[in-house]
Every structure is written in structure tokens, then in C-alpha cells.
Amino acid sequence: MPRRKSVQHSRTWFCAIRRLIRMACQGELLKFIYWPSSTRMIATGAIKNNSWHQEHVAEDAGVPLPSAEYLGEVGYIHTAEGHRRHGHGDRVLASLLEAAGGKELFATIQSKNKLSQRLLARNGYVRVGKSWPSNRVDDRVNLYIRPKAAPKAGG
């Protein structure tokens, strides 16, 4: 039985790495966290910078995502089993936000993906706009953004 779990774990990581490599070839930003003193990758994340995709997400959600304000979509955040609940996803997301150089990042999350929704909420994201059908699974997709801070009174 342990062998099957190991094989499944390897396939999951292989698929995630394959997607990330495809993204890297398109000039998008990738982040990785490695286990100390080893080459074992324990967390990943990426920024998808695709203006066509960004326009379609904005249209689907009914919310403007101007490229002057949004660098792209944050996603592909994944933490390996055995390393979850240690803040690695938060660290990956924080490093991607920092790498965005002052621009914001939006996220699209399927309605059933409660873990990703909680990660985004912890980092200041809120759901906005309308949901739309996923073209990958039987679910709906939602847009998440970090709202701009309200101006301080008297300032």
C-alpha cells in the first residue's frame, strides 16, 4: 500500500512540474521551496502573466482587471503531503506578491477548493464578481482579488 501512495505522490508532482515548466517557457514567474539540506521540493507557486487570459477572466467575472494594476494571476500553489500546515503556501504567495513589484495579482479558484480559498483569505483576498463554469471540471470558478486599502480619514 505505501508504494501506491508514493507512486501517486510522484505523479502529482510530475504533473505540477510539467505545468510549471510549460509556464516558464512562456516567461512567467515560478517560486519553489526546497526541504533544507536536500533537493526535495516541498512547495510551488507561479504568476501567470497572460493578457488574453486576464481579459477573459475579467469578462467572465464582470470585474475589471486593468493591466496597469494587475500583473497577472497567482496560482499553481501546491505543498507536498507531509509539509502542509506549516505556512509554506503563505510564504510562496508572499514571495510572489513581492515579486509582482507593486502590482496586484488576482486568483481564480474553483468553488470546491476550500483550502485555496482559506489561503487567499489569510492573505487579504476576497471573492468578487460572478462565478462561471469551469472548463476543466464539474465546478464553478470564482475571482479573488486583494481590495485596495481604504484611504485614512483626513488623509
At 2 the pLDDT is: 44
At 7 the pLDDT is: 47
The C-alpha atoms of residue 107 and residue 113 are separated, in whole angstroms, by 12
Residue ranges making up the domain that contains 54: 2-145
151 assigned to some structural domain: no
Mean pLDDT, residues 74-93 taken together: 87
pLDDT at 151 exceeding the cut of 60: no
pLDDT in tens, 32-66: 666 666 667 788 888 888 889 999 999 999 999 99
pLDDT at 150 exceeding the cut of 50: no
Our measurement of the distance from residue 82's CA atom to the centroid of its chain's CA atoms, rounded to an integer in Å, reads: 20
108 assigned to some structural domain: yes
Q: What CATH code is carried by the domain that includes residue 47?
A: 3.40.630.30
Q: Say how many domains are in the chain.
A: 1
At 78 the pLDDT is: 85
154 assigned to some structural domain: no
94 assigned to some structural domain: yes
Give the global pTM: 0.75
98 assigned to some structural domain: yes
pLDDT in tens, 87-143: 888 998 998 898 888 899 999 999 999 999 999 999 999 999 999 999 888 999 999
155 assigned to some structural domain: no
The C-alpha atoms of residue 132 and residue 154 are separated, in whole angstroms, by 40
The C-alpha atoms of residue 119 and residue 43 are separated, in whole angstroms, by 14
152 assigned to some structural domain: no
At 5 the pLDDT is: 47
DSSP letters, 61-87, are HT----TTTEEEEEEEEEE-TTSTTSS
59 assigned to some structural domain: yes
